[in-house]
């Protein structure tokens, strides 16, 4: 089957075509992402109203390009998947209504996708990882450790009690006057900094529960920045490096415990996998720390290519493909949801065909 996927939950307008090939592998035929970074840069963060308007302007063109790059027309598509939550409602409405309109006009099945499920399944899209696996989801709005048992069956083992990791990167960047989005810019600065220069906390390190906390780390960065003001470029680089090291070690500590629990839960699993998803999964220092934990625990790290870590349409099309294959299609009156935890039983509350 061939699925068109649409993603508009935040600040990227994205569309993609994904196909299940006869061999059983998933094939990305196109994956077009238009980032709105420029539109929001002056505001130091995503402005919902601007995002929604930008999706309206860009989406039909992006869908067209995704079809052209896939070498297809709408006549070749078997189903349409769109993100309906969680995210900014204005953007979600644009993507959901566009997806529903295409599905209605062509008489195709519609799949109402949870954005987090898109992230959670990306290790299956990129590497064909088998269920069950452990997932670290670290993005702009979420930091979670999930047990992915099967399609639609997710168990949250830990989540952040305050800021998400991507948010901590973004706020650190803002504090140090680095341009939005912060994550990649902090990583670039960190590359030429000294990670040992500043002593920063490793929040919750050593605690038995698998939750995260990053606001203390962010505050510690602020205090160091204030104490050393005005900061030279070298100071900024050293602070970025020290922050990134603290973040990576904090994540590694949680993941170490989660891997132990995962191995205990599935002692007979031949190929235990830790998958990484979300924009922060693009960070090399964090990938390196995770790789070390996996090697120590006898697990395999699956970190999808950077383009599949941050927001994209291919992960939405792929989640739609799995749902289509499982016969779990949705009605055209499926609502959008600004909040939608992944571990809740998958059906949204009202007007939903499941």
- Please check if 148 is assigned to a binding site: no
Q: Are 82 and 283 in contact (CB under 8 A)?
A: no
- Please check if 139 is assigned to a binding site: yes
Sole binder of ligand ATP in the list 211, 311, 322, 330 (CB under 6 A)? 311
Nearest to 249, CA basis, from 199, 301, 305, 298? 199
Sole binder of ligand ATP in the list 280, 297, 321, 324 (CB under 6 A)? 280
Closest approach of Cβ 37 to ligand ATP, in Å?
Answer: 10
Binding positions for Mg ion, 308-347, rule CB under 5 A: 311
State how far the Cα of 338 lies from the Cα of 316, in Å rounded to an integer: 17
Closest approach of Cβ 69 to ligand ATP, in Å?
Answer: 21
Q: Which stretch binds Fe ion (CB under 5 A): 139-147, 151-159, 208-216, 244-252?
A: 139-147
- Please check if 167 is assigned to a binding site: no
Residue number with CB closer to Fe ion (187 or 311):
311
- Please check if 60 is assigned to a binding site: no
Closest approach of Cβ 85 to Fe ion, in Å?
Answer: 12
10 binds Mg ion (CB under 5 A): yes
Sole binder of ligand ATP in the list 90, 123, 203, 278 (CB under 6 A)? 278
7 binds ligand ATP (CB under 6 A): no
Sole binder of ligand ATP in the list 169, 212, 243, 340 (CB under 6 A)? 169
144 binds Fe ion (CB under 5 A): no
For the chain, what is the HEC assignment?
CEEEEEECCCCEEEEEEEEECCCCCEEEEEEEEEECHHHHHCCCCCCHHHHHHHHHHHHHHHHHHHHHHHCCCHHHCCEEEEEEECCCHHHHHHHHHHHHHHHHHHCCCEEEEEHHHHHHHHHHHHHCCCCCEEEEEECCCCEEEEEEEECCEEEEEEEECCCCHHHHHHHHHHHCCCCCCHHHHHHHHHCCCCCCCCCCCCCCCCCCCCCECCHHHHHHHHHHHHHCCCCCHHHHHHHHHHHHHHHHHHHHHHHHHHHHHHHHHCCCCCCCEEEEECHHHHCHHHHHHHHHHHHHHCCEEECCCHHHHCCCCHHHHHHHHHHHHCCCCECCCCCCCCCCCCCCCCCCCCCCCC
The 8-class DSSP code of residue 330 comes to: B
What three-state secondary structure class fits 125? helix
- Please check if 183 is assigned to a binding site: yes
5 binds ligand ATP (CB under 6 A): no
Binding positions for Fe ion, 188-247, rule CB under 5 A: none
Sole binder of ligand ATP in the list 160, 283, 329, 346 (CB under 6 A)? 283
Closest approach of Cβ 330 to Mg ion, in Å?
Answer: 24
Q: Which stretch binds ligand ATP (CB under 6 A): 65-73, 88-96, 277-285, 288-296?
A: 277-285
Contact residues: ligand ATP, CB under 6 A: 10, 87, 115, 119, 139-142, 166, 169-170, 181-184, 187, 278-280, 282-283, 310-311
Per the annotation, where are the binding residues?
115, 119, 137-141, 170, 183, 187, 283, 311
Per the annotation, where are the binding residues for Fe cation?
115, 119, 311
Contact residues: Fe ion, CB under 5 A: 139, 311
Per the annotation, where are the binding residues for substrate?
137-141, 170, 183, 187, 283
């Amino acid at each position: 089957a061939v699925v068109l996927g649409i993603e508009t939950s935040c600040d990227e307008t994205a569309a993609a075509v994904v196909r299940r090939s006869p061999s059983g592998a998933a094939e990305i035929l196109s994956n077009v992402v238009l980032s709105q970074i420029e539109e929001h840069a002056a505001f130091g963060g995503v402005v919902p109203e601007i995002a929604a308007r930008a999706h309206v302007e860009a989406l039909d063109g992006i869908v067209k390009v995704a079809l052209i790059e896939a070498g297809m027309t709408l006549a070749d598509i078997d189903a349409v998947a769109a993100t309906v939550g969680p995210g900014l409602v204005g953007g979600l409405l644009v993507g959901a209504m566009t997806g529903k309109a295409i599905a209605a006009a062509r008489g195709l099945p519609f799949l109402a996708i949870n954005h987090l499920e898109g992230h959670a399944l990306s290790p299956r899209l990129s590497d064909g990882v088998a269920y069950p696996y452990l997932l670290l989801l670290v993005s702009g709005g979420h930091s979670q450790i999930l047990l992915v048992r099967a399609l639609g069956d997710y168990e949250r083992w830990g989540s952040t009690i305050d800021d998400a990791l991507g948010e901590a990167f973004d706020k650190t960047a803002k504090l140090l006057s680095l341009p939005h989005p912060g994550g990649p810019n902090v990583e670039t600065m960190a590359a030429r900094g000294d990670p040992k220069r500043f002593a920063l906390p490793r929040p919750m390190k050593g605690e038995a529960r698998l939750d995260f906390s990053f606001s203390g780390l962010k505050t510690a960065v602020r205090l160091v920045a204030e104490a050393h003001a005005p900061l030279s470029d070298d100071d900024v680089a050293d602070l970025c490096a020290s922050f990134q090291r603290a973040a990576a070690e904090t994540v590694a500590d949680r993941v170490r415990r989660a891997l132990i629990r995962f191995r205990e839960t599935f002692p007979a699993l031949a190929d235990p996998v830790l998958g990484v998803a979300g924009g922060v999964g693009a960070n090399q220092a964090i990938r390196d720390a995770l790789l070390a934990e996996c090697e120590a625990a006898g697990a395999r790290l699956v970190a999808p290519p950077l383009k599949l870590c941050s927001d994209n349409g291919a992960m939405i099309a792929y989640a739609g493909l799995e749902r289509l294959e499982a016969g779990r299609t949705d009605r055209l009156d499926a609502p959008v949801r600004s909040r939608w935890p992944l571990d809740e039983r998958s059906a949204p509350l009202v007007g939903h065909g499941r």
